[in-house]
Structure 1
């Protein structure tokens, strides 16, 4: 139970709102802006949204609280947190650090695409209504050599510079700009989309449940989306929780963060689906919603270039708020465990991640025929291993660890600041983390492997 670096003063969040915005920023990412509208479109709209909200409480809140409590109690990185309580469980934290590392290596490539499209939007190059032409443009970008790697480098540099500033001066300060900016832009885009002729059909589709569409597949998709949307199982919330002061109301924070994340996802749905319906596009178009469908939609709108620019700034903000948390998980580990200063750790990791991202980018173009797993190049392999194996396995073991190894009584003691805070749902949370969470995540895990 030895503490790591006991004499080193640990950085802390400057304010409660700073932590909430940073943690919400970690959860809010590209998945909120394309995957939630896509999953809702694919799964009958309102029925999916209703199930999503139920699972958000049962699984999202449960794991969010477990991770934050574990981080605040130990004041350590993801690996150190497990080790402090049970030395043999340190490897579970290692799964989270590895997941964050792998995800950021290819997430940065996608972030680079977003910057490239922001440049295209500013120049008016996206003012095209033909989805086929836009599809060819996107295909040309991702299968290229130097251009996507250059923009991947720009995105990684932006992430690195924010994390270099530390918790208060870098991550907290940037999220106080990124998150309110993100909210303002997604609200404006949602209002614009909802006022388009024919948009009512999309609004009804998203908000009014059609229970005839409710199947076990919809429930499983909602379960998977909640889990992956909240950045659970990768040590982000353990790491961010470790910078919390002891007087923070964790149950309150663990409630607000998933609600912010879901609010952004719902607003994104109101920005995407009404516009998609208004212009007769397919609501289940997948990642192409961002890079193909939406540019075609904007090109048909009055002030389309302005809204296209706003949209890609919004997507960039969402991507950055997540990427800085992924890099911070790795930096925190290196600083705590290897005793390397933040500047050296951040620059070193940023450079390594940039280099690893190069084969991820090339695997979608010149290296497309080189496979690591069957039919999967670097990009798809890293995505599969992190999203389908490391994250659900990390989440499952987190529930077992907090529920049965450390014990929910100890976790509740920490969450209530030694009994000084009221936590009315303590008994329900204890049941959820011990029984519901592990079963739900095991289902996600098995389904993701199949």
Structure 2
């Protein structure tokens, strides 16, 4: 079985393509994961869908066939030609797949290098597959290690500080345009996680925030979490709000545009709308004094961000490279450690059996039992030291599986001592 990742991101697809590939709700994700796991070549799968990427992370017995089957399902889901998707897709297997997953978790593959949301989104995608039993031991190990890697990157660099999300980048662009934000209203549409982040940055940048959502109660609850006053408006007032407020940032999960030409009036003042949703919330609109920015239009700030973070990113990539290699060493150790433990356990059992027989036959007395046991265990430890050391060194070799199987056979061990049948070790996230 091989690790397999298939990636569509801002690097290989435009926003129009990502809109068609997006999975806006759990029902769509669930249905798609069920479909791809019907493939006999695929054993586990996780689906990550954000404004900047769609990732399928899986385990496959035949990565080439499995990747084509997955892309074929994506083609049917998105109504995009198979050849177009296959040509765009970044397909990675085993070492490169793990490296890619670790890079994604560490926010090195993001539109905004170091953005803080991606690891949470990846954790949510992982938990979803885990809850549906689409994800088992092998992907669990890889994902837990990716979170460990992300934490190491955050601790060793400053990539997780400052303006490091699409929301904060949109607000930074708005502030750059407006300059003096005191008393300037900014409309936020939606009451989800992205809207919460947007409000936080708008307030810190000096804007007066107006919030609206289809769910008025949810919007009010979100507004009440902030110490600053947030004006909450009914969603039916959206057309009026759009034509009265100069700055608007929308981040809903609607599967279709909610802001259309027919509700947009011509205004004498300048308006700046930021659409950070995928699929987009704003359709193509032609109106004077109106500037519309999509996720991809924020690239200018992103490029500045990347240049400032270039040195930090080098350090982060070194961590990802190191931990990608460590992950496979760790997997091998999971296979070897039970074998070594079994050797010592069997040796202890033999010592215990022989001492009991010696006591029963009067070869030794009860007072000498503990000292003799310690002596036997010292002999066992010294005898197994070299084999243990050798087996551990072999764990990093490509022939590890063959050697371990031979040791299991020689010592009469059950193959279940292999790491494949052991529960996944919990790794601190």
- TM-score w.r.t. the length of structure 1 is 0.22
| Structure that is richer in helix per residue | 1
- Greater relative CO, 1 or 2 (CA 8 Å, sep 6+): 1
Larger radius of gyration: 2
- TM-score w.r.t. the length of structure 2 is 0.22
| Structure that is richer in strand per residue | 2
